[in-house]
Each structure stands twice: as structure tokens, then as C-alpha cells.
């Protein structure tokens, strides 16, 4: 018999030490090699409308638990997804997740300002970590999350779903294999009109702003299309059509990057207008995607007449399945934490260039 003070982890250890003939309860007997349990931290739009439904289509992971600061959401999620009470947490008792064998992965889907904290807490609890983009507000926040995962020997993957998308992977291949020669210019844009007037994405303290929210799409695309790390932000500027709303953060940002091989990237991002395209010019041709970062319908073409229009059922499901399988097979993540930190270092340089109105080298 376990005492009231015995933790679930201690109970599991007791069973494993001398229970050769014992029949384990169902929550212990589930094969963790078949599917990994994911707990979603933060039940906003992305978790509710996209990740949770996607987890009903995954083959290598499943929705095992939730972490929320909104108690009223709990019965709704439990009824819809059959989540047991012992797999429900809030932000205060989150660390007790360490004692829950149902949960293998913690997916951090919170405002950007909370990403680093919960990545670190999840890693310290011995759980693998998926973190939604952007990885943090600063490179220092990203480094803290990476260190915690490394110290606790758990995996860390960033939620850059586009790198898992097959048409995007084709464009990456074209550049890597020099199908049309060296890339010389990338033009990329990602944005939408956000009609909200009081949201965390409009607050600096919470990591809001177009560059953090959508700007990482064209920024990351410039890096994976050119295959190099930028050496400088040539120029950057912010603009707004709604200064009464965007008082703290950028509504629209344009920026240009310089790369060591001579290539350039001209990028734009916005929370005030729609924009969605990627065009790569090479020495001997071109390739493009339009749209390039939508949840579906990604399609492209190239200068030799080829078209790429591969379809997958669900981008988020593929991303999570790819990352869960990498954990099970002890392989590196397709998009590790270091990838997110590289982008945030550049984001910091972009903000500096916009503030100073001059070229900024990336150290």
C-alpha cells in the first residue's frame, strides 16, 4: 500500500523494483514506444483550434494532458478529449508533472514572454519540450531553455511547421543542391490583419509585435533558402497604420539581410495587412511558393517549368509526428532549439537597426 505522502514516481519505482508478478494498472502499462503523450501548456486559439485537433490525427503522439490558467476550460477539454483529472495542471502546480508517466512531452503554447520559463520548468521535470515560435524575446531566454534541456538530457524542438512541409522542403533542396546555381536574392513576406485592439501580441512585456509573431517566417525562410547565416541587417524600419493600438510594438516591419556569400534577403512582416509569399532568385533560375506559410494550400513553381503541390493532411500533425518519432528513435530534431535562438539573435539586431536607423552587424 502506498502512503498518502508517496509520490506517483516513488510508487512506480517501488513497482519496478520487486513486482515481477504484479499486473500494472492501465496508466502504467501503456507502451510509451508506440505513442508519446503530449501535454499542451496554454489553451488559446492555437492549441484549441489547431494542435488539439491535429493530435487526433497523429500516429506517434497523442493528447495526454493540459495545463491552463483558466479553470472553466478544464471540463470542456475533458469532455471533448477524455483527459483524466490526474493529467490536468495549472501554472502553479505544473512542476508536479514530473511524477506523471502519461506525459512524455510538454508543448509550450503560451505568450512569448512565458516560453523560456516553461521550457526550463518542463526540462527540469524530465519532459521533452516542444516550444511554439518564437522561441523567446531574447537570445538569453533561448539559451536558458537550451541549457535546461541539455542538462536534463531531454529533447527540444521548435514549432517551425514550415520546415516539415514537403513543398518548403523542396525549395530548401533546390537551394542546397544548387539546382539553379547559387541563391542571390530572397524576397519573403508574412502577415495578416489582426483586428483585435487589446491582445497580448500588442504588448511589449509579453513579447508582442509583428517581428516576433510573423517576422520569424520570412527570416527563417531567408536562412534556409540561402543556406547561410546573415552577417548584418542592412536596414530595417517599422511603420503603423493604427498608432492608437500599436503603441508599444511594431505593426509592420521591413528588413534587409546581408549574407557572407553575397546573397541578400528583402523581407516584410505585418499584423496590419495580409502578405504571404516567397521568391528565391538563383544565378540560373528561380523558385517560389505562394502562399508559403499558410496552414494549407502551399504550392510552388520553378523557372524550369516544374510545379510542386504536395499535399499533407495536417501540417501540425506532421510536425508533431516527426518530432515525436525523432525522440523515440534518438535522432536529432529537424528544428532544434538552437535554430530558434539563431533567429532571435537576428530579430534583436533588426530591432536595433530600426531603432538606430543604420546597418547593424550580427555578432
| Residue among 314, 335, 315 at smallest CA distance from 323 | 335
pLDDT at 33: 63
232-239 and 252-258 beta bridge pairing: antiparallel
- Is pLDDT above 80 for 241? yes
pLDDT at 150: 98
C-alpha cell at 178: 544548387
Residue range 97-138, pLDDT digits in tens: 999 999 999 999 999 999 999 999 999 999 999 999 999 999
Considering the chain, what is the average pLDDT of its residues?
92
pLDDT band (50, 70, 90) for residue 17: very low
Rounded CA-CA distance 303/225 in Å is: 16
- Assign 3-class secondary structure to 54-105: HCCCCCCEEEEEEECCCCCHHHHHHHHHCCCHHHEECCCCHHHHHHCCCCCE
The CATH T-level fold of domain 162-310+337-361 is Dihydrodipicolinate Reductase; domain 2 (3.30.360)
Q: What percentage of the chain's residues is helix, strand, coil (to nearest 5)?
A: 40, 25, 40
Residue range 265-318, pLDDT digits in tens: 999 999 999 999 999 999 999 999 999 999 999 999 999 999 999 999 999 999
pLDDT band (50, 70, 90) for residue 31: very low
Rounded CA-CA distance 33/151 in Å is: 23
Q: Report the chain's terminal Cα–Cα distance, integer Å.
A: 59
| Residue among 52, 58, 108 at smallest CA distance from 81 | 52
Residue range 182-201, pLDDT digits in tens: 999 999 999 999 999 999 99
Q: Interhelix angle for 216-226 vs 166-176, to 10°?
A: 40
Rounded CA-CA distance 15/12 in Å is: 5
The CATH T-level fold of domain 31-160 is Rossmann fold (3.40.50)
Least confident of 28-37, 58-67, 243-252: 28-37
pLDDT at 82: 97
- Is pLDDT above 70 for 86? yes
Rounded CA-CA distance 336/347 in Å is: 18
Asked if 273 and 290 count as a contact pair (C-beta separation under 8 A), the reply is: no
How many whole angstroms from its chain centre is CA 152?
20
Q: In the chain, where are the structural domains located? A: 31-160, 162-310+337-361
Amino acid at each position: 500500500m502506498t502512503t498518502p505522502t508517496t509520490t506517483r514516481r516513488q510508487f512506480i519505482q517501488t513497482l519496478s523494483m520487486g513486482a515481477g508478478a504484479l499486473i500494472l494498472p492501465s496508466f502504467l502499462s501503456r507502451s510509451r514506444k508506440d505513442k508519446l503523450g503530449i501535454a499542451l501548456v496554454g489553451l488559446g486559439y492555437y492549441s484549441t483550434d489547431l494542435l488539439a485537433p491535429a493530435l487526433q490525427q497523429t500516429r506517434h503522439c497523442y493528447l495526454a494532458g493540459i495545463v491552463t490558467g483558466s479553470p472553466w476550460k478544464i471540463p470542456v477539454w475533458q469532455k471533448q478529449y477524455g483527459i483524466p483529472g490526474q493529467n490536468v495542471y495549472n501554472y502553479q502546480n505544473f512542476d508536479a508533472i514530473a511524477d506523471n508517466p502519461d506525459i512524455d512531452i510538454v508543448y509550450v503554447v503560451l505568450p512569448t514572454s512565458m516560453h523560456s520559463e516553461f521550457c526550463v520548468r518542463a526540462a527540469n521535470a524530465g519532459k521533452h519540450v516542444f516550444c511554439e515560435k518564437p522561441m523567446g524575446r531574447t537570445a538569453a531566454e533561448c539559451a536558458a531553455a537550451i541549457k535546461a534541456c541539455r542538462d536534463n538530457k531531454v529533447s527540444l524542438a521548435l514549432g517551425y511547421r514550415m520546415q516539415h512541409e514537403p513543398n518548403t522542403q523542396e525549395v530548401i533542396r533546390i537551394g542546397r543542391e544548387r539546382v539553379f546555381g547559387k541563391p542571390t536574392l530572397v524576397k519573403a513576406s508574412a502577415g495578416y490583419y489582426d483586428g483585435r485592439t487589446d491582445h497580448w501580441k500588442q504588448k511589449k512585456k509579453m513579447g508582442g509585435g509583428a517581428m516576433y509573431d510573423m517576422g520569424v517566417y520570412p527570416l527563417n525562410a531567408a536562412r534556409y533558402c540561402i543556406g547561410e547565416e546573415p552577417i548584418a541587417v542592412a536596414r530595417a524600419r517599422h511603420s503603423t497604420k493604427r498608432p492608437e493600438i500599436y503603441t508599444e510594438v511594431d505593426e509592420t516591419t521591413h528588413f534587409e539581410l546581408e549574407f557572407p556569400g553575397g546573397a541578400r534577403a528583402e523581407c516584410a512582416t505585418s499584423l496590419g495587412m495580409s502578405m504571404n509569399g516567397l521568391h528565391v532568385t538563383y544565378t540560373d533560375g528561380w523558385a517560389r511558393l505562394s502562399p508559403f506559410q499558410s496552414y494549407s494550400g502551399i504550392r510552388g513553381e520553378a523557372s524550369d517549368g516544374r510545379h510542386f503541390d504536395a499535399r499533407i493532411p495536417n501540417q501540425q500533425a506532421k510536425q508533431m509526428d516527426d518530432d515525436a518519432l525523432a525522440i523515440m528513435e534518438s535522432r536529432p530534431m529537424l528544428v532544434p532549439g538552437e535554430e530558434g535562438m539563431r533567429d532571435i539573435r537576428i530579430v534583436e539586431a533588426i530591432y536595433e537597426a530600426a531603432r538606430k536607423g543604420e546597418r547593424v552587424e550580427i555578432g
